[in-house]
Amino acid sequence: MRLPGADRLRDYLEGRDPRPVAAMFGLNAVDELDNATFVWVAPTIAAAFGVGVGAFGVITVLVLLVAPLIAIPVSLYADRRARMPIVLLAACAWGLFSLGSGLAPYLWLFVLARVGSSFGRTVSYPVQLSLLADFYPPQVRTKALGLHALANNAGAIFGALLGAGVAELFGWRAAFFVVAVPTVLAIGWSRRVPEPPRGTFEAVQSATALPLREVAPKLWAIRSLRYQWIAGIYFVGAVIGTTIVLPFYFDAQFGVGTFGVGLIGAVAGVGAAVATFFGSKLAQDRLNLSASTGVLWLSRVTLAVTVLIVLFALSPSVWVAVPLLFVIVSLFGLVAPLIAAVGTLVSPPELRASAYAFGQVIGLVGALFAVTISLIADAAGERWALAFAAAVFLRGVFHIRTVGTLIDSDVDRLRSEHVGQERRTDADADGRPLLLETQGLTVSYGPVRVLFGVDLEVRQGEIVALLGTNGAGKSTVLNAVSGLLSPDGGNVWFDGEPITGESAERVAARGLVQAPGGRGIFPGMTVQDNLRLGAFLLRGDKAVSAARIEAALDLFPALRPMLGRTAGDLSGGQRQMLVLAQAMLLKPRLLLIDELSLGLAPIVVQELLAAVRRLNAEGVTIVLVEQSVNVALTLADRAYFLEKGTVRFEGPTSDLLGRDDLLRSVFFGGATQHPVG
């Protein structure tokens, strides 16, 4: 069956098939139809069950709290299996529970029905967005998501008019019976849409499904996504709280009844629909420039919304309040496509549904603000409640600005040239694949920026020296790569997979281990206990742990007679051996060594160099932070030279001898000193 206006839709989507977005539009619209009916008929329902705005707000929030907890396991399943059946089953669920809302004779049964109805939306929405991201490429995705978001406006308009109108004529129960009918039609149409391939337009990072325990940490490590979630706490709290208070505000302040409130909601919904349509193109144009351009535009629009909410709360008459509400809702519609699109740009394709589900659950913290807003309305009036909602919303705007500073780097993580097999087989002339890569690595300590866009490449089997003056940022590079510091910008890839922002434990488990000079020991513990502690990732396998400790002692036999002594009694060279032994317990593929020779006698340095060579001969790739150029020339194949947080030289260590300008800064302190290294 051909869609009405299909050719125009296809042109709008730049030649892409319009049927998938039409199906998701229908499912989203009928769910919003049910939700809008619930919102705008709220005062009548509250009166029927004998509760006020505060109690009704608590009930609404309790409904919202339960549903997203179901969304996480469903979304995890959706990231591993076909997604269309899940979307259709969710639609069936909310249609049945919508009917149940109208049939409920008691308040507790009504609450259960609303919880069940919210399952459909909460479970289906993340999966719908995941599907749309695989149906449409980034160049038109925001337009497709804008059409999908228009369904919210369509559902809100018809829910406000149809639901409130039926409630006015036949009672609020009849409204839920009527709005359940379109769900059946939407399900029938959507059954014809096929499942798209996962990761059609962005590279899949993990070919096999991640263990459940790793999904949340992997997503949390995506910096811009993390701050989107945090912003969502404040936005969700402010929006839900305002939505609860809104019909009571018009009733209490201006004497507007149920149908009048529904009519106001419908008019505002029309404005939002028009704004969403135009906002899709505006957002797409900005995102095509860069993701940060789009997000910073979003922050400016949401800041304007904050100001308008305050003005709305102070409205002296309904003739002022209604136009302000119209503008506020329209601005929300303007940015709705962009809000939906941003998450798809930074979430791995194989985890997109999970990313949206986790975002919903984290957003539940905002329910505390929503409850507070509704209770303020009961205690001090609706105007004070709306003013507080504006303050909460403003806090979310600040976090969106942070997203804008981080998102370009996170978008770059998913580019196919960095991810997966394409990057792992990017070998040099000697056949050595790229093992570690950093691009644009930027790190700050508070207001002080230490690294300024550091780019490194380390190939499998190499020994690479990282040289520079004191305070040049050498140790900071290692800490950012190993997960001890979270970069402000840029990315780190290990074996073709992005590890930017991951915890040090997860990075070490991948096979990238740091040996932090002589500082990586616990002086008050014995050498043996230090070794046992170094094998913390092997705590589930004592036999393997014991075998690796023996292998480390074979590599550094000088430690064997010292096992019972406290590490604080060791010499500087023995401490360095202990640190290296601890690192080797984790069988690293890449070993980062910080200041191997600092303060040690030449004979000890030679012993350590011999150990490092043995490790490299056994297949361990090594990055060595070193101030001694002589040690670097003796040990390393290539060198990077850092000065003032930037790379001044990269190439064979032998070529460094011809750079008197750099060597002079090491030997004579010619470079500007920084307080950190």
Reported as a pLDDT band with limits 50, 70 and 90, residue 674 is very low
Which pLDDT does position 238 carry in this prediction?
93
Q: Residue 444, class by beta-carbon neighbours within 10 Å (0-12 exposed, 13-18 middle, 19+ buried)?
A: middle
Rounded Cα distance between 354 and 80, Å, is 10
Highest mean pLDDT among 262-266, 308-312, 655-659: 308-312
Cβ-Cβ contacts under 8 Å for 486 (sequence gap 6 or more): 223, 480, 501
Which pLDDT does position 675 carry in this prediction?
37
Cβ-Cβ contacts under 8 Å for 550 (sequence gap 6 or more): none
What is the mean pLDDT of the segment spanning 200-218?
72
Q: What is the pLDDT of residues 512-568, one digit of tens each?
A: 988 886 567 778 888 888 888 777 767 667 777 788 888 878 877 888 888 888 878
Which pLDDT does position 422 carry in this prediction?
41
Q: What is the pTM of this model?
A: 0.70
What is the mean pLDDT of the segment spanning 348-377?
85
Which pLDDT does position 650 carry in this prediction?
85
Q: What is the pLDDT of residues 632-646, one digit of tens each?
A: 777 888 889 888 888
- Is it the case that residue 243 has pLDDT exceeding 70? yes
Return the CATH class of domain 6-188+212-412.
Answer: mainly alpha
Per-residue b or e along 403-421, where b marks 16 or more CB atoms closer than 10 Å to that residue's CB: bbbbbbbbbbbbeeebbbe
Q: What is the pLDDT of residues 149-195, one digit of tens each?
A: 778 777 777 776 777 777 778 888 888 888 777 877 888 878 888 88
Mean pLDDT for all residues in the chain: 81
Cβ-Cβ contacts under 8 Å for 354 (sequence gap 6 or more): 72, 75, 76, 78, 79, 126, 215, 219
Rounded Cα distance between 38 and 176, Å, is 8
- Two tokens, residue 77: 């399943």
Rounded Cα distance between 608 and 594, Å, is 13
The type of residue at 604 is V
Which pLDDT does position 295 carry in this prediction?
92
- Is it the case that residue 309 has pLDDT exceeding 90? yes
Say whether domain 429-668 belongs to CATH 3.40.190.10. Answer: no
- Is it the case that residue 102 has pLDDT exceeding 60? yes
Weakest mean pLDDT among 375-379, 591-595, 596-600, 637-641: 596-600
Per domain, the residue ranges of the chain are 6-188+212-412, 429-668
Q: Are 163 and 44 in contact (CB under 8 A)?
A: no
Reported as a pLDDT band with limits 50, 70 and 90, residue 53 is low
Residue 207 phi, psi dihedral angles, 5° rounding: -65, -35
The type of residue at 641 is F
Q: What is the pLDDT of residues 599-636, one digit of tens each?
A: 677 777 777 788 888 888 888 899 988 777 777 777 88
